[in-house]
Structure 1
């Protein structure tokens, strides 16, 4: 007997099952091609499932590797940013300064009174005779009252002047002794007005500036004793030597004045140097350092 035909419904199911079975191998062969195509197209993760079956996790593509290189880490702290210190500008070296010399204090101005009492105080002093030969001449020293000058001090200074090695006494022109009484002559120091009055008694006009020699001795103008002379190249203390040597020169017999012996030469002590040097060099002593007598032409 011939086979019975299957019911229509069952045939339809079998046909469908067989149809799937025939397509199955084709689909399994086409899968690798499909995967390769997907990877080629950049869709490596496109197939997450196939026909409802999960794929193996190992087949799923991993995350893409990054090409950036990470900086190695270290436990050391990051260095602090340093701020460059500005290079100091070198200060210019101070120029050496020369200490300026302190100005010398101005000498105290000496005030000389124009006139005085007209009376005198005698120095109460005495000394040994000085000199190497000749007549002994005793002298006393008087200072006008009311002026700031010690009679005793003035007497001591005059004694030193007469005992100087370039003076008269050192060269045999007389011996001199300071006494307070019984004097052969007197040396008076007086204000300009008083000096003028004493000199005028001998007929000498001293104009308040000059010294003179009188019948009883020597008159010294206080102005010249304290201030010196504007024509004399030296201190007042040196000019005092010239005053005493000049006036005592008259006392020992040298009555005339002398002039300048020549330009650049020392002026004689018997020259009136306050009236001008006429080319000579000012000088306070009768004798030079070599012991020679300083002389010049007679003028009066």
Structure 2
């Protein structure tokens, strides 16, 4: 037998091979079409869009601090409110005052405009700008006197003004208040703040330390500061002292909350829910 000569295949064999190849090709086409249809239906049903790596925003790297979350207990527990400032408070100053030279925004939307200046006694260890901003926050509300059809604005020290808000050491506050006919002494030493004609005088000791019944009730120092500003400015606007309307009720801002609460709850605002909140006249 000659093994080098090609073997002749029958025509039927060639037809079977061609048919099998056609079936395999058709099956591959059907699989590709099915995959495309499923992918399109999945995207339409889910409302999503396929994103490639070049369309994804880079993920920011975490710093060691950001990668280490706080313990769960610490994350849930808010920082305790500041009730009073630590450290000694100057009881006397130089008797001279430095003024904040800023013109502030007009507080309130309508009504007559009352202009005020802000000054801090030299030697009080307080900045005039910081004190002025705290006064502005107290008078801006909501809930302050500007809710009653009045506007207030801090002006520069050399500008025309209706009154000045002073932050003074206890000794100087006592002298300024006495000159205006107001005795702020308790147990022989200057204790409260006061209003004298054209002067709202805030006692530095109260500004730094609040008062014992506020502290024991866990009332934040920021609330006392808002109260004392609105109380003394209320006197400047012509309001007199008021009494507690009943145990457990909210204290009127014109109540002498620096001296007592008489069963009332501390309150720094003259307006509540847009209406003037007042107690019985004293």
Matched, 1:248 2:261: no
Matched, 1:118 2:101: no
Matched, 1:274 2:266: no
The answer to which structure, 1 or 2, has the higher relative contact order (CA under 8 A, 6+ apart) is 2
Partner of residue 231, structure 1:
213
Tell me which of 186, 199, 209 is aligned to 1:217.
199
Tell me which of 155, 170, 175 is aligned to 1:179.
155
SS at match of 1:274: coil
Q: Which runs of 5+ in 1 are unaligned?
A: 1-99
Report how far residue 171 of structure 1 moved: 3.0
SS at match of 1:245: helix
Structure 1 residues 220-274: Cα deviation after superposition (integer angstroms, max 9, x where no partner): 00011111122224121211111111111112221x2100001110000000012
CA distance in 2, matches of 1:147, 1:252: 27
Tell me which of 175, 182, 191 is aligned to 1:197.
175
Matched, 1:260 2:237: no
Give the TM-score normalised by structure 2.
Answer: 0.65
Tell me which of 243, 263, 269 is aligned to 1:285.
269
Report how far residue 132 of structure 1 moved: 2.4
Structure 1 residues 18-41: Cα deviation after superposition (integer angstroms, max 9, x where no partner): xxxxxxxxxxxxxxxxxxxxxxxx
CA distance in 2, matches of 1:195, 1:237: 21
- Map 1:1-300 to 2 at 5 A: 109-172=86-149, 174-180=150-156, 181-182=158-159, 183-207=161-185, 208-232=190-214, 233=217, 234-254=219-239, 256-288=240-272, 290-299=273-282
SS at match of 1:176: strand
C-alpha contact 1:141 1:155 (8 A) present in aligned 2: yes
Structure 1 residues 52-108: Cα deviation after superposition (integer angstroms, max 9, x where no partner): xxxxxxxxxxxxxxxxxxxxxxxxxxxxxxxxxxxxxxxxxxxxxxxx99xx99987
Report how far residue 147 of structure 1 moved: 2.0
Q: Which runs of 5+ in 2 are unaligned?
A: 1-72
> Cα RMSD (Å) of the superposition?
2.1
More helix by share: 2
CA distance in 1, matches of 2:271, 2:198: 26
C-alpha contact 1:110 1:226 (8 A) present in aligned 2: no
Larger Rg over CA atoms: 1
SS at match of 1:139: strand
CA distance in 2, matches of 1:108, 1:160: 19
Partner of residue 36, structure 2:
none
SS at match of 1:231: helix
